[in-house]
Amino acid sequence: MGPAPRISAERHTTSPPVRHLVPAPIYQTLTKTFHGDLAGNSETDIITVHTEHPAAYVGMERFEGTLHGRKGGFVLQHNAGGANGVPWMTWKIVETTGTGDLAGIRGEGQIIMGPNG
């Protein structure tokens, strides 16, 4: 596999936090554009919990585009948190969500943040 795909993202808060919960969850939608071996667009719905920094999130991401020239789409399930101040983020392709040339796709991995986030 080639180098990690370049990703650009925009974040939109889609609804106000639930005020009676502390810390309050925040509902957001992210749109991303991917360039490289994985090329296309996605939209992610996430729920985050912030303390003095983002503490955890869960989300579902819908991708449409190409992977190594194979056209189609799939859904990723995201999960993230932290332990002793060290964040961790994982993803898994939701079984049976592959479409087009990506039907039957499966996999899981980690998201590693670069020095600039």
**Tell me, what's the pLDDT at 82?**
84
Provide the pLDDT for residue 11.
58
Report the pLDDT value the prediction gives residue 65, as an integer from 0 to 100.
97
Q: What is the pLDDT of residue 92?
A: 97
How far is C-alpha 81 from the geometric centre of its chain's CA atoms?
Answer: 13
Question: Per residue of the chain (117 residues), what is the pLDDT tens digit?
Answer: 556 556 555 555 555 555 666 677 888 888 989 988 999 999 999 998 877 766 789 999 999 999 999 999 999 999 999 887 778 899 999 999 999 999 999 999 988 777 766
Instruction: Give the Cα separation of 110 and 108 in Å (integer).
Output: 7
Supply φ then ψ for residue 26, to 5 degrees. -120, 130
| Spatial distance between the Cα atoms of 22 and 32, rounded to a whole number of angstroms | 29
Domains recognised in the chain with CATH numbers: 6-110 (2.40.350.10)
Using only C-alpha atoms, what is the Rg of the chain? 15
Q: pTM for this one?
A: 0.79
